[in-house]
Amino acid sequence: MSATRRARASRTAAPPRDTAPEQRSATYPVREERALVGARLRGLRQARGLSLEQVAQAIGVNKSFVSKLERNFVQPSIATLLRYCDAVGIRPGLLFDPPPANLVRRSERRKIDLGGEGLSEELISGDGQDQVMVLLTAIAPGGGSGPEPYTLRSTADLIHVLTGRLEVTVDSDTYMLKPGDTLTFPPTLPHRFRNPSATEVTRTFWVISPPP
């Protein structure tokens, strides 16, 4: 996930800024092979009668950053995207269209993007599920959720490492997962993750229940 992996993060008051430390600019189009959520975010914000400035103040960035996010010019951290969803009162899962069937064949897996850096995520459980969300995630060397911990309003989060290593920090505890290791924890606790390797991609099987 990691991403469809997460739900709302609590809003924190912070002075407006052009770009939060965990965000980075990206040349348009951003990850063009994935579902771009900027237009959906803009439509949901406008449907609720919220201005760019109101959302920017709620998530702790400036109006320019929100505008760039809605046009897919910047790539947010997971925590920032969750704060945006919380600000407009939506579940992050609503950003993605449902698949045409419950059966998700290998060739039909949808790539999604919930923020972070160096993540490639595939939703393999389908969007119609209301009990569980399952992701296959590839995390590039040095990639992860970003430096800012995030929380989900789900009940359980399970990470199983297929290849590589994954460093996961849950609250004040840090775990180094190796191939075959599985970590389960309540995602209501602040957590973050990263691939500590400088050369090896980490691949994980991620389960969140209920979906964020």
My answer on whether 116 and 169 are in the same domain is yes
In the prediction, which pLDDT does 41 show? 87
Provide mean pLDDT across the span 50-75: 90
Q: In this predicted structure, which of 55-64, 99-108, 119-128 has the lowest mean pLDDT?
A: 99-108
CA distances from 8 to 86, 140, 150, 170, 175 (A): 5, 25, 8, 17, 24
Alpha-carbon distance of 111 to 28, in angstroms, equals: 18
Q: 169 is in which domain, residue-wise?
A: 106-209
Place of tokens 């949808």: 110
Residue 142 has pLDDT above 80, yes or no: yes
The CATH number assigned to the domain holding 202 equals: 2.60.120.10
Above 80 in pLDDT, residue 192? yes
Look at residue 132 and tell me whether its pLDDT is greater than 90: no
Does 4 have pLDDT greater than 60? Answer: no
User: Which residues neighbour 117 within 8 Å (Cβ) at sequence distance 6 or greater?
Assistant: 22, 24, 75, 77, 140, 142, 143, 144, 146
Of 38, 63, 95, the position where a domain reaches its end is 95
CATH number at residue 67: 1.10.260.40
User: Is 136 found in the same domain as 159?
Assistant: yes
Are 116 and 150 found together in one domain? yes
Domain for residue 17, yes or no? no
Looking at the structure, tell me whether residues 174 and 111 fall in a common domain.
yes
Number of structural domains the chain divides into: 2
Looking at residue 111, its pLDDT comes to 86
The larger pLDDT score, comparing residue 114 to residue 68, is at 68
What is the C-alpha to C-alpha distance for residues 128 and 115, in angstroms, rounded to an integer? 22
Residue 127 pLDDT > 70:
no
Higher pLDDT, 55 or 12: 55
Q: Final residue of a domain: which of 65, 95, 125?
A: 95
Q: 194 and 150: one domain?
A: yes
Task: State the pLDDT at residue 55.
Answer: 93
- Highest mean pLDDT of the ranges 3-7, 30-34, 87-91: 87-91
Average pLDDT over every residue of 68-81: 87
The DSSP 8-state label assigned to residue 208 in this structure reads E
Query: What does the pLDDT average to over 148-168?
Result: 96
Quick check: is 7 in a domain? no
Which tokens hold the place of 196?
């500590």
